[in-house]
């Protein structure tokens, strides 16, 4: 499962979950920090994130 976490959740969560979810990303790591929710949703949908 590919997980994408919003900026309201600490980027540290990806480190904690990486063993169970190798496809775990934070919006800041994909260039979407401070973007509108709609931009993040579109990115997630296009790239297969949950």
Domain boundaries, the chain: 2-46
**CB-based contacts of 35, cutoff 8 Å, min separation 6:** 27
- pLDDT value at position 12? 95
**Cα 49 to chain center, whole Å?**
8
28: phi then psi, degrees, rounded to nearest 5: -70, -25
The three-state secondary structure class of 38 is helix
The count of residues in the chain is 50
**Could you read off the pLDDT of 3-25 as tens digits, one per residue?**
999 999 999 999 999 899 999 99
Question: What's this model's pTM, rounded to 2 decimal places?
Answer: 0.84
């Amino acid at each position: 499962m590919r997980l994408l976490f919003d900026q309201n959740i600490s980027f540290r969560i990806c480190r904690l979950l990486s063993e169970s979810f190798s496809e775990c990303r934070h919006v800041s790591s994909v260039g979407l920090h401070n973007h509108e929710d709609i931009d993040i949703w579109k990115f997630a949908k296009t790239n297969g994130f949950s």
